[in-house]
Amino acid sequence: MKKQINFSTEGSLTSVGPLTISRVLPNRYAEKVGPFVFLDYVAPALKPHIDKRGMGAHPHRGIATLTYILQGEVEHFDSRGHRAKIHSGGAQWMKAGNGIVHDENFNYDREMDSRYIQGFQFWINLPAKNKAEEPAHVAVQAEEVPRKTLQSERGWIKVVVGQYEGLSSKIPDYAEQFLYHIHLEAGKYFSLSLAEGMEVAAFLTEGTVNLNGADAKAGELVVFDRHAGDIDISNTSGTAIDLLLFGGEEYKEPVVARGPFVLNSAKEIDLAYQDYHSGKYGSIEQGSYNY
């Protein structure tokens, strides 16, 4: 049995400095997919001129942020002293926990001579019991992301978050969740079976694809139902395509989101702002940034 498609939609566009951002999740149809409550897609930008320190320091609480960079490099700084740089194909995860201030600096990948910036930022909602934990950070370089070659030269799958057929990501799990990057050659296909109750969405970065009999194009988010079933992906483009498949078990606790905070009640949101404005999250040291 195939999973049914609930809806498809395109993101709303905005600009952050020289970068064009598509806000894909939340949208008018859905607030979340599994534990994923936010998704921004950074469309390909050719060697943009970034002349300031970072993209703007800001707080978070109650979530984990996940940046997955397809092309370029991302440098991370935060108020708990974590600092790391990832390159094309890498990911970095930050558990905001009970409060943190962070910033990221996107640039083209000078080390790997990439000419573009392209990538994603997700927010992953934490279970209530983990929202009050201390912040943490994990950087995963491209060669550390588990990858499996598909049979018959169809392409490959990378496990950015979660597990797949014996592969396991270094990024921590607090609930059943996954983020797969699937690369399919022209005219090839891939099929995945999901258990009952699993929420899942697909996002295509280029070309066209057929998902369980329905056509989708680049920039579309396609969200499926929660019933057990298969997702059949067929590359209908004349060239190779890249598609993200992400989701997990339904988040059943209350969700209250305001600004950069995602918690379980309005009272907790108010406290998050009070703690931030009173300086409890700390600040990023001046010397942390590159000039």
Distance between CA atoms of 26 and 37, rounded to whole angstroms? 6
CA angle 21, 179, 35 (to 5 degrees): 85
Sequence-ordered strand ranges (E) for 96-219:
100-107, 116-125, 136-140, 147-150, 155-161, 163-164, 167-168, 177-184, 189-194, 198-204, 208-211, 214-217
Exposed e or buried b per residue across 85-121, where buried means at least 16 C-beta atoms within 10 angstroms of its C-beta: bbbbbbbbbbbbbbbbbbbbbbbbbeeeebebbbbbb
| Closest to 97 in 3D by CA, of 84, 82, 86 | 82
Distance between CA atoms of 122 and 145, rounded to whole angstroms? 17
Distance between CA atoms of 178 and 163, rounded to whole angstroms? 7
- Cis peptide bond upstream of 26, omega within 30: yes
Give per-10-residue mean pLDDT for the chain (291 aa): 96 82 95 97 75 76 97 93 95 98 84 79 97 97 97 97 97 96 97 96 96 96 97 96 97 96 98 97 75 42
| Closest to 233 in 3D by CA, of 185, 197, 165, 195 | 185
Task: For the beta carbon of residue 131, count every other beta carbon within 10 angstroms.
Answer: 24
Amino acid sitting at position 87: H
- How far is the first Cα of the chain from the last one, in angstroms, to the nearest whole number? 55
pLDDT of residue 290: 57
Residue 50 tokens, joined: 């970034």
Residue indicated by tokens 């009952």: 196
133: CB partners within 8 A, 6+ apart = 95, 97, 98
**How many distinct helices (H) and strands (E) make up the chain?**
1, 26
DSSP character at residue 88: T
CA angle 96, 99, 102 (to 5 degrees): 65
pLDDT of residue 116: 84
What top-level class would CATH report for the domain 5-282?
A: mainly beta
pLDDT of residue 291: 42
| Closest to 17 in 3D by CA, of 106, 121, 109, 150 | 106
pLDDT of residue 14: 87
